[in-house]
Structure 1
Amino acid sequence: MQQSLDQEVSRFNVRKRSFQIFDETSSKQVGSVQRWLMRGQNFVVEWLEAGVAGETIFVKSEYETLVLMPDTGGTILRAGKPAILAAAGTVCVVPAGPYSIALEQWGRYCVIASSRIDIDLNDVLNAAAYSNPDSRIEPFGTPYRRHTDQGEVQVLQLDEISPPADNPRLKMVQTETLSINWVAYDGPRVRSQLSPHSHAHHEQGTLAISGNYNHHLRVEWGKDANLWQDDEHCVAPSPSLLVIPVNLIHTTEGIGQGKHILVDIFSPPRADFIAKGWVYNAGDYTRDK
């Protein structure tokens, strides 16, 4: 059935989510490195797990990228620049242009970008979901410009980032074109304190780095039953990535004991979080008028 324009822009019209567990069956082997690629409309996520020998991988972007090193360090190399050694537990803001990452043995890494000109987007695991763009999603453009240490790699130690006073589970970092929430807690999430919500103008990527989760997903009902979808309770081990479309009601519940680490991804950066003073490095950026 052909949808009307009213259906297409309605908050009740929700695209299907993308979800992928990063296991061996979904990986691509690059030397001794296992690699997984997924995308949202405005972002690309590359998850990497190094092999025994340790190797170097290459990245090229028109915009700043984020490199996450959750539990193993690595070295960022750029032509004509000093090598930058980043320890485990860091987030690196890397300027636009080509660079490489020298991986440590058995290390896990994630590169998050709004654009990767070195990647064919037809090769990502959920490429089919983006055969047609969603006009409701705000384009990332370049709404922010870094004015501190321009052209330099910034290495941010997660232990040194202060969370918002009213939400100690969250640590937030931005680049020119995207922002992330680093969400960490021990043990299961309290089921009486979940936070179901939706977004009208942007997607959200939710990357599970440590722990097990249930992603609870619901489409709001409108008058047109053709747009209804069943609730979903998506079981998500780590590592895995969920891409949440516009208007999908969602909340994530950490289950079981142990450390839980999630990274929520947004592009463009969350201006509402920046305005509240929640984003750790927001002072390094000026917003274009």
Structure 2
Amino acid sequence: MYDASDPRAALAAAPATVRPAPTRFAGAEYARFYELPPQEEAEGLRGWYARGQNFLVNHVEAAAGAILARAAQPDEYVLLLPDAATRVEIEAGGERRGLDGNSLAFIPPGDSRVTVKAPGRMIRLFTTRAGDLAARAVNAASYAEPHPNVAPLADWPAPPGGWRVRSYGLDVPPEPTRFGRIWRCTTFMVNYLDPADGPRDATKMSPHHHDDFEQGSLVLDGAYTHHIRWPWTTDMTIWRPDDHEYCAAPSLTVIPPPAIHTSRAEMAGQMVDIFCPPRRDFSEKPGWVLNAGDYPMP
């Protein structure tokens, strides 16, 4: 359900399918990094980890000289640099290149190394195939058993130009017919939402659900309240009360399917939506995925 001014109101309706009613629901996951000690501390950096079924988020505060390295990474991952003053050097796939802040990069499988040249916040997104990192998540115990209703992770096609570091600037002007600023790779879709300039209009909320994929909502600045409601089924024993959770920055909320959800900015702020693997419905909208030419659809 979207307000007429919301670009998502133009999404094509999902084809009618006969889905069995869920027999179990998972709760939402809330990781308020600002309330937690870091799960990782090394020279020049402090890192927090939280996960969903298919993906994990590593929020890092890094000083100049800090190094984030991966060896034998099984798949493509994301490096997001939200602060304009940050600068890093990336070594991966046999290349070395600098990257300024206010940007994101997709880093190929295999060995990689990110050296911080100018400090700032860094967010890395990995699939949970990176088992060593998934084990560090503050909510790792919640996934001792797989959560229900989430489709298995399946990668999208490899880029025709081969594996390499691909980077994109975040400073893309808003477009009324496009929802946020969306990029995708083989494993992730990242929507760097248009920033909130103040509290969201309470008469223009967007309650909706996803049949079989999680949504990660990463608050980078400001604060948001996540409103989440689970469907009622014939089995009253699996009903869950609604959530109305206030999450400031930095924090990650993982919204499970098929819960109905919407988020309200409580002040000026910045939120990023994370999907793993990419969403087909967003990808099918012309012009919505800003790097669609680099990564083909299945």
Give the TM-score, by structure 2 length: 0.85
Give the CA deviation at 1:177.
Answer: 1.7
Aligned length: 273
The answer on whether the counterparts of 1:11 and 1:200 sit within 8 Å (CA) in structure 2 is no
Inter-CA distance 114–120: structure 2 relative to 1 (3 Å threshold): closer
Cα distance in structure 1, aligned partners of 2:89 and 2:254: 29
Which residue, 152, 155, 163 being the options, matches 1:142?
155
Change (3 A) 1:128 1:10: farther
Deviation at 1:19, TM superposition (A): 0.6
Residue 283 of structure 2 is matched in structure 1 by 274
Match of 2:135, SS?
Answer: helix
How many angstroms apart in 2 are the aligned matches of 1:120 and 1:87? 25
- SS for the counterpart of 2:68 is strand
Q: 1:116 and 1:54 mapped to 2: Cα distance?
A: 28
| Aligned mates of 1:74, 1:127 — CA distance in 2 | 29
| Paired letter, 1:30 | A
Corresponding residue for residue 153 of structure 1: 165
Q: 1:94-243 alignment to 2 at 5 Å? A: 94-115=107-128, 117=130, 119-134=132-147, 136-148=149-161, 150-159=162-171, 161=172, 165-167=176-178, 170-185=180-195, 186-243=197-254
Counterpart code for 2:115: A
Q: Secondary structure at the match of 1:103?
A: strand
Q: Say if 1:167 and 1:96 are closer, same or farther in 2 by CA, change over 3 A.
A: same
Amino acid across the alignment from 1:44: L
Q: Check the 8 A contact 2:77/2:125 in 1, yes or no.
A: yes
Q: Check whether the contact 1:207–1:263 (CA below 8 A) recurs between aligned residues.
A: yes
**Aligned AA for 1:64?**
E
Structure 2 residue 21 is matched with structure 1 residue 10:
yes
1:118 positional shift? 6.7
Instruction: Give the C-alpha shift of residue 120 in structure 1.
Output: 4.5
CA distance in 2, matches of 1:164, 1:279: 12
Label 1:162 to 1:137 Cα distance change in 2 as closer, same or farther (>3 A): farther
Alignment RMSD (CA, Å): 2.0
The range that moved more, 218-227 or 118-127, is 118-127
Q: Offset of 1:162 from its aligned partner? A: 5.8
Q: After superposition, what is the alpha-carbon deviation per residue over 1:114-156, rounded to whole angstroms, capped at 9, x for unaligned? A: 24537253221111111111353222222322113x2221110
Question: TM-score normalised to the size of structure 1?
Answer: 0.87
* 1:102, distance to aligned residue in structure 2 (A): 1.2
Q: 1:122 to 1:93 in 2, by over 3 A?
A: closer
Cα distance in 2 for partners of 1:101, 1:13 equals: 41
Correspondence for 1:42: 54
2:65 equivalent in structure 1: 54
